[in-house]
């Protein structure tokens, strides 16, 4: 598929998107890789990380620590960074999760965790960008 402005944000290759990356052989001491579900770099000023979980599934300890440290280190560079932990309720794993409509359960900013206040991902991203600009 040719990438154009009209299809930005859509899955370009659905078959490849379904392909699982198995990290089990990359264990380094007690650490294994984690993934990031979404990332927005905004005008060389801010970085927004998105982690989606089904209903009230926990953010695993190692993933939480890695993402907190990532946000903290970007913050040290003088740029803004935030992590949104988002919740969806799409039980059928063959159906797409519409990211903008998921609810932000909590977020991490300036070394603190905050409640998401039942706002959607799109609302929280817009609110964050308005806050920092």
Range in 11-20, 74-83, 91-100, 108-117 with the lowest mean pLDDT? 11-20
Paired with 41 in beta bridges are: 47
Give the mean pLDDT of 3-26. 82
Cβ burial 24-46 (10 Å sphere, 16+ → b, else e): eeeeeeeeeebeeeeeeeeeeeb
User: What does the alpha-carbon distance between residue 115 and residue 86 come to, in Å, rounded to a whole number?
Assistant: 11
Strand (E) positions, 15-118?
A: 38-42, 46-54, 80-88, 103-109, 112-115
| Tens digit of each residue's pLDDT (9 = 90 or more) over 24-64 | 899 999 898 999 999 999 999 999 999 999 999 999 999 99
pLDDT higher than threshold 60 for residue 1: no
pLDDT higher than threshold 90 for residue 82: yes
- Check residue 95 and give its pLDDT: 94
pTM: 0.91
Cβ burial 68-80 (10 Å sphere, 16+ → b, else e): eebbeebbeeeeb
50 within 8 A of 86, measured Cβ to Cβ: yes
Range in 9-18, 27-36, 111-120 with the lowest mean pLDDT? 9-18
């Amino acid at each position: 598929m040719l990438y154009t402005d009209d299809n930005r944000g859509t899955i370009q290759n659905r078959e490849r998107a379904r392909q699982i990356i198995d990290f089990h052989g990359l264990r380094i001491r007690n650490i294994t890789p984690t993934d990031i579900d979404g990332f927005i770099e905004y005008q060389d000023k801010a970085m927004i990380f998105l982690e989606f979980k089904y209903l009230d599934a926990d953010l695993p300890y190692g993933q939480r620590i890695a993402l907190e440290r990532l946000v903290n280190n970007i913050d040290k560079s003088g740029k803004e960074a935030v992590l949104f932990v988002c919740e969806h309720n799409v039980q059928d794993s063959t159906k797409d999760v519409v990211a903008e409509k998921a609810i932000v359960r909590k977020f991490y900013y300036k070394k603190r965790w905050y409640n998401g206040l039942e706002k959607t991902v799109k609302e929280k991203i817009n609110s964050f960008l308005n806050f920092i600009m």
